[in-house]
């Protein structure tokens, strides 16, 4: 059987295992929608002419959804699978590691699609989210989602290699993601953060991903409210690609099939 077909079978098994764990389905898929509801309902202020905070927040939550489905999910589940012997068992079979990663990518892709669709639907229905009105914006949205997911996936695998135990993984990963959301312009308007915090968060991809999502979902003239007074689309693409390359390298270096 070819590695690609085996990868599809791995994807099927990954999805089955994921969907049968109620906690993981709720935590991974519904948590961002829940947050959207809470924040969107509480903060209804207008932050610029024609832009409410809830619209701003939905754009950020879509970026966070990519972090959730890739980074957070893999950095928590891979250490658990390493602890319970799943990875070691696979390593003892002729299955190519490439098939294993194809399977993981399929799972991430599926949960990413589900989250993005739910966030878009709830955002549009309840929080005045304007769906992109031009083909160019949809195109930008698509590459942001794909590049963002890919970054999120490889960085999740890279972090999984550093985390020592599956039991401790959520305690390491979740605060990391939450802090990143606070300083990257998801929970607060980015331009209102202290400048040292803005500069620090600019080191990480989430800040750029949220900015890209705002360029898709907020009115074009909101660009003037950004820190750089521009959406910086080219810079976003370059930084995400740099993180993707670095993350792939780190993931290949740090991945371990068993504890030791």
Partner 1 sequence: MSAAIEVLDLRKSYGGQEAVAGISLSIEHGEIYAILGPNGAGKTTTVEILEGFRSRDSGSVFVLGSDPGSLGIHGSAWRNRIGIVLQSTSDAAELTVAETVHHFSHYYTKPKDPDSVIELVGLTDKRDAKIRTLSGGQRRRLDVALGIIGAPEILFLDEPTTGFDPEARRAFWELILALKAEGTTILLTTHYLDEAEALADRVAVINAGKIVEIATPETLGGRHLAKATISWSENGATQKKISENPTQDVIEIAARFKGDIPELTISRPSLEDIYLTMIGGKE
Q: What is the binding site for partner 1 (CB under 8 A)?
A: 1, 6, 9, 13, 16-17, 20-21, 81, 84-86, 88-89, 91-96, 257-258, 260
By beta-carbon proximity to partner 1, the closer residue of 17 and 248 is 17
Distance of CA 37 to CAs 33, 102, 148, 189, Å?
A: 6, 33, 23, 17
By beta-carbon proximity to partner 1, the closer residue of 16 and 44 is 16
Angstrom distance (rounded) from CA 184 to CA 103: 30
CB of 8 to partner 1, least distance (A): 10
CB of 29 to partner 1, least distance (A): 16
Radius of gyration of the chain (CA): 19
By beta-carbon proximity to partner 1, the closer residue of 235 and 256 is 256
CB of 4 to partner 1, least distance (A): 13
Tokens for 25, please give them: 């389905």
Tokens for 21, please give them: 């764990």
By beta-carbon proximity to partner 1, the closer residue of 58 and 76 is 76
Angstrom distance (rounded) from CA 232 to CA 241: 14
CB of 84 to partner 1, least distance (A): 5
Parallel, antiparallel or unpaired: strands 46-48 and 51-52 = antiparallel
Task: Write phi, then psi, for 133 (nearest 5 degrees).
Answer: -105, 0
By beta-carbon proximity to partner 1, the closer residue of 14 and 232 is 14
Neighbours of 198 (CB within 10 A): 17
CB of 112 to partner 1, least distance (A): 21
């Amino acid at each position: 059987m070819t590695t690609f077909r085996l990868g599809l079978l791995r994807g099927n098994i990954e999805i089955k295992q994921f969907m049968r764990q109620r906690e993981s389905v709720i935590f991974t898929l519904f948590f961002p929608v829940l947050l959207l509801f809470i924040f969107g309902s509480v903060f209804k202020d207008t932050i610029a002419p024609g832009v409410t905070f809830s619209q701003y927040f939905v754009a950020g939550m879509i970026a966070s959804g990519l972090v959730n489905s890739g980074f957070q999910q893999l950095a928590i589940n891979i250490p658990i699978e390493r602890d319970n012997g799943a990875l070691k068992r696979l390593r003892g079979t002729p299955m190519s590691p490439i098939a294993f990663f194809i399977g993981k990518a399929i799972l991430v892709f599926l949960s990413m699609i589900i989250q993005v669709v739910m966030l878009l639907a709830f955002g549009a229905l309840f929080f005045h989210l304007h769906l992109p009105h031009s083909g160019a914006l949809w195109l930008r949205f698509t590459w942001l989602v794909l590049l963002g997911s890919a970054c999120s996936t490889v960085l999740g695998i890279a972090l999984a290699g550093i985390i020592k135990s599956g039991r401790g993984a959520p305690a390491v990963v979740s605060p990391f993601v939450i802090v990143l959301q606070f300083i990257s312009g998801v929970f607060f308007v980015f331009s209102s953060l202290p400048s040292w915090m803005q500069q620090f968060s600019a080191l990480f991809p989430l800040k750029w991903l949220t900015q890209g999502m705002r360029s898709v979902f907020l009115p074009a003239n909101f660009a003037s409210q950004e820190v750089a007074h521009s959406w910086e689309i080219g810079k976003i693409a370059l930084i995400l690609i740099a993180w993707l390359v670095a993350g792939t390298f780190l993931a290949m270096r740090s991945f371990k099939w068993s504890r030791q």
